[in-house]
């Protein structure tokens, strides 16, 4: 019997009571008050089919630790294939195709016994070693195994528990990685530390740099000399991409986060003949990928031409209006990112139709923000606010002051110092004022 803390009981009751009437929950609970256990209770005590998503690899560990500690079990974990595959180590995870892999067959044909055995083995390993990091567990348990006959860790970790799956944000966010999770059809989808969702939502889907184009050209040369297969059209396309990239960089310089409007998109998308060139390039890239997969078997490998192709494909979709992304120049890198936060909720959770979504954090945004900025439907949203670790704060906006560089000067420093005095005179306790630089703090301080 698990003894929950009072705050955990309240949170669970509010969530479970709201399941029939609401489909989205915003759970605000102080940091360290045991939100992970609440997520696990939905699976192990209430029998829901749960998907829990965390931001980083480190945040997977509490799910492993608490399920072993409280339920003597271990959830399924959607590992990064590119890190645990027995045949390839790569950041281009989507290029690892499992359907005809013999290790997949070995694993699937040994189910469900092998999942049962793996669960006990992993529970024991976590208890005895205190290691909660699934990637370290894979390294330890698979070290020295013959890759031609071994069970696949990626597949096995996905089958550990049929009703509880944990993954990191990228698998929830990137369309080319999330298919597996959508097919999983969770009844309850938990987003842990959900205040981070906004930043992750806006990270680049695909990007390109000058260096990546140069490496793609080297990769083509290596392919040509190893296979004797000429790749003239691919070189032609890379020349086009390179001159586009240089043109854009020249036009905007080494800027930070410059959003380029669709009508300013470079000629690479609109160039006549580009479509057929891209098609020819795509077929060369397919051959280059096959060549590298067999040449660099069981070694770390990167696919530069594939990255260029993926970027160009997506750029064309954005240009045609098929994808709601923007092209952003950021310190020498051209990126395609989501930009409009208003569609955050529908884009991320729309495909999980019928799932109850629980957004939880120690610092959840307000209801107003979730509805008006993230686009959460207000009639479906239940807010459960169980406080923060540091109590409640009142937030006040002052429109008349700014620390923006061009506004700095005598007048603005004086305005700042009178504001600090006003806040100080009305404060019950001490005041912490944070300045953007030493100089700014000195100038304001001098006028106090
Ligand atoms: S089944 Fe496993 S070993 Fe085979 S390709 Fe997929 S991840 Fe790699």
How does DSSP assign 161-190, residue by residue?
Answer: -TTEEEEEHHHHH-TTT-HHHHHH--SEEE
Band (pLDDT 50/70/90 cuts) for residue 166 is very high
Closest to 379 in 3D by CA, of 18, 24, 19 = 24
Average pLDDT, the chain: 90
CB of 158 closer than 6 A to ligand 1? no
In the chain, residues under CATH classification 3.40.50.300 are 6-202+341-385
Predicted local distance difference test score (pLDDT) of residue 246: 85
How remote is the CA of residue 177 from the centroid of ligand 1, in Å?
15
CB atoms within 10 A of CB 135: 16
ipTM rounded to 2 decimals: 0.99
Q: Whose structure tokens read 């092998």?
A: 114
Is residue 2 scored above 90 in pLDDT? no
Conformational region of residue 242, where left means phi above 0, alpha means psi within -120 to 50, and beta covers everything else: alpha
Cis peptide before 112 (omega within 30 of 0): yes
What SS3 state is found at 89? strand
Beta bridge partners of 77: 166
Report the distance separating Cα 224 and Cα 374, nearest Å: 48
Pocket probe for ligand 1: among 92, 154, 301, the residue whose CB has the most ligand atoms within 8 Å is: 154
Predicted local distance difference test score (pLDDT) of residue 134: 94
- Four-way CATH pick for 204-337: 3.40.190.10, 1.10.8.190, 3.40.50.740, 1.10.275.30: 1.10.275.30
Predicted local distance difference test score (pLDDT) of residue 302: 94
How remote is the CA of residue 155 from the centroid of ligand 1, in Å?
7
Q: Measured between alpha carbons, how far is residue 85 from residues 79, 81, 93, 115, 402 in Å?
A: 10, 5, 9, 18, 52
Give the position, in ligand 1's atom list, of the atom nearest the Cα of 147: 3
With vertex at residue 127, the alpha carbon angle to CA 126 and CA 130, rounded to the nearest 5 degrees, is 60
Lowest mean pLDDT segment, chosen from 93-97, 248-252, 371-375 = 248-252
CB of 151 closer than 6 A to ligand 1? no
Is residue 265 scored above 80 in pLDDT? no
In the chain, residues under CATH classification 1.10.275.30 are 204-337
CB of 96 closer than 6 A to ligand 1? yes
CB of 154 closer than 6 A to ligand 1? yes
CB of 197 closer than 6 A to ligand 1? no
| Residue range 6-202+341-385, CATH number | 3.40.50.300
Lowest mean pLDDT segment, chosen from 66-75, 231-240, 261-270, 430-439 = 261-270
CB of 152 closer than 6 A to ligand 1? yes
CB of 86 closer than 6 A to ligand 1? yes
Predicted local distance difference test score (pLDDT) of residue 256: 75
The DSSP secondary-structure symbol of 405 reads G
Predicted local distance difference test score (pLDDT) of residue 240: 87
Predicted local distance difference test score (pLDDT) of residue 3: 86
What SS3 state is found at 333? strand
Contact present, 367 and 385 (Cβ < 8 Å): no
Predicted local distance difference test score (pLDDT) of residue 51: 97
Predicted local distance difference test score (pLDDT) of residue 392: 66
Each residue of 16-32: pLDDT tens digit? 999 999 999 999 998 88
Give the position, in ligand 1's atom list, of the atom nearest the Cα of 88: 8
The two tokens of residue 86 are 């027995």
Helix, strand, coil percent values for the chain (each to nearest 5) = 50, 10, 35
User: Which of the given ranges, 1-5, 185-189, 256-260, 440-444, has the highest pLDDT on average?
Assistant: 185-189
Band (pLDDT 50/70/90 cuts) for residue 164 is very high
The two tokens of residue 180 are 């597996």
**Terminal C-alpha separation, the chain:** 59
Is residue 269 scored above 60 in pLDDT? no
Is residue 436 scored above 90 in pLDDT? no
Report the distance separating Cα 74 and Cα 68, nearest Å: 6
CB of 150 closer than 6 A to ligand 1? no
Predicted local distance difference test score (pLDDT) of residue 430: 80
């Amino acid at each position: 019997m698990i003894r929950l803390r009072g705050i955990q009981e309240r949170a669970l009751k509010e969530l479970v009571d709201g399941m029939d009437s609401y489909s989205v929950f915003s759970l605000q609970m102080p940091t360290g008050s045991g939100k992970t256990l609440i997520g696990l209770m939905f699976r192990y005590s209430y029998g829901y089919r749960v998907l829990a998503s965390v931001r980083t690899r480190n945040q997977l560990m509490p799910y492993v630790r608490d399920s072993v500690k409280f339920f003597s079990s271990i959830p399924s974990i959607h590992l990064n294939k590119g890190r645990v595959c027995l045949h390839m180590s790569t950041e281009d995870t989507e290029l690892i195709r499992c359907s005809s892999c013999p290790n997949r067959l070995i694993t699937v044909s040994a189910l469900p016994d092998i999942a049962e055995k793996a669960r006990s083995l992993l529970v024991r390993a976590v208890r005895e070693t205190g290691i909660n990091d699934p990637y370290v567990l894979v390294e330890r348990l698979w070290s020295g195994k013959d890759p031609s006959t071994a069970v696949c860790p990626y597949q096995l970790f996905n089958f550990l528990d049929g009703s509880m799956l944990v993954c990191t944000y990228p698998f929830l966010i990137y369309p080319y990685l999330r298919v597996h999770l959508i097919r999983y059809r969770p009844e309850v989808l938990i987003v842990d530390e959900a205040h981070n969702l906004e930043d992750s939502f806006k990270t680049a889907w695909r990007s390109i740099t000058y260096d990546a184009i140069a490496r793609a050209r080297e990769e083509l040369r290596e392919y040509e000399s190893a296979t004797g297969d000429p790749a003239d059209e691919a070189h032609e396309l890379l020349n086009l991409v390179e001159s586009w990239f240089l043109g854009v960089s020249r036009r905007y310089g080494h800027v930070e986060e410059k959003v380029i409007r669709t009508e300013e998109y470079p000629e690479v998308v609109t160039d006549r003949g580009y479509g057929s060139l891209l098609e020819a390039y795509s077929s060369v890239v397919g051959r280059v990928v096959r060549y590298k997969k067999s040449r660099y078997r069981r070694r770390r490998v990167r696919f530069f031409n594939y990255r260029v192709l993926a970027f160009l494909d997506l750029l064309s979709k954005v240009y045609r209006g098929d994808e709601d992304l923007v092209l952003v120049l950021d310190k020498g890198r051209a990126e395609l990112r989501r930009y409009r936060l208003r569609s955050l909720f529908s884009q991320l959770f729309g495909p999980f139709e019928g799932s109850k979504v629980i957004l939880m954090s120690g610092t959840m945004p307000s209801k107003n923000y979730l509805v008006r900025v993230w686009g959460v439907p207000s009639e479906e949203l239940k807010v459960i606010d169980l406080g923060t670790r540091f109590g409640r704060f009142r937030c006040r906006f002052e429109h008349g002051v700014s620390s923006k560089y061009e506004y700095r000067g005598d007048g603005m420093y004086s305005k700042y110092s009178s504001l600090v005095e006003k806040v100080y005179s009305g404060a019950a306790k001490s005041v912490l004022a944070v300045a953007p630089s030493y100089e700014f703090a000195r100038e304001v301080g001098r006028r106090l």
